[in-house]
Amino acid sequence: MNYETNLTPTTAETTILQQSVTKPNDSRAVPSFLSGEAEVYRKNMQSGARWFFWIAGLSLINAIAAATNSKWSFLAGLGVTEFISGFMSALSTDLGNSSAVMVLGFVLNALVAGFFVFLGVFAGKGHTWAFLVGLVIYALDALIFLAAQLWFPLAFHAFVFYCLYRGFAANRKLKQLEAEMATSA
């Protein structure tokens, strides 16, 4: 019997080798199915990170509406910006309709919205800490609506929290997959 090992790749092995993807500036080959899996995680992470921008934008629109004495607001806004707007409006009334107080309230709301933009930028770059900080702060913000017994904004907070968590989980899976690919090469 001849037990010689055939060192030439089979057709299936050649196909797998041809489907390997090489990262730029990296000599390691990554099988395409792993690359596809990483891309799914990356898209889910980006989707979760974009919610930080929605939170910031809608909260800022709510702040503009409050500063102009409008009676409407978005459900997706932050409770803290609603609180700041309400507090500043009452303070402005007590001080004889002071526009300076309303401007200060808008600036504070803009800073809060800017913080969520900051989180969105870093979460979009794959920083786990940005997702964690955002999840904690958004959960704490939901307590404002719970205390005020505003159920629709609270329900929307739960939905957005789920979307943020999904982005966080995808980010963790992506990091895990990248670590596995780095050690297997």
pLDDT of 18: 43
Alpha-carbon gap, residue 14 to 8, rounded angstroms: 9
SS3 assignment, position 30: strand
Q: Looking at residue 106, what is its pLDDT? A: 93
Whether residue 33 is contained in a domain is answered as: no
Residue 108, domain member (yes or no) = yes
State the residue range of the domain holding 176. Answer: 46-184
Residue 1 lies inside a defined structural domain of this protein: no
- Domain membership flag for residue 136: yes
How many independent structural domains does the chain possess?
1
pTM above 0.75, yes or no: yes
How many CB atoms are closer than 10 A to CB 57?
17
For 14-53, b where at least 16 C-beta lie within 10 A, e where not — what string?
Answer: eeeeeeeeeeeeeeeebeeebeeebeebbebbbebbebbb
pLDDT of residue 31: 52
Q: List, in sequence order, every beta strand (DSSP E) within the chain.
A: 21-22, 29-30
Residue 125: inside a domain, yes or no? yes
With respect to residue 60, please indicate whether it lies within any of the assigned structural domains.
yes
22 - beta bridge partners?
A: 29
Question: Mean pLDDT in runs of 10 for the chain (185 residues)?
Answer: 44 43 44 75 97 96 88 85 92 87 93 98 97 98 95 95 98 92 79
Angle (CA) 111 112 116, round 5°: 110
Q: Quick one: pLDDT at residue 73?
A: 80
Asked whether residue 37 is domain-assigned, the answer is no
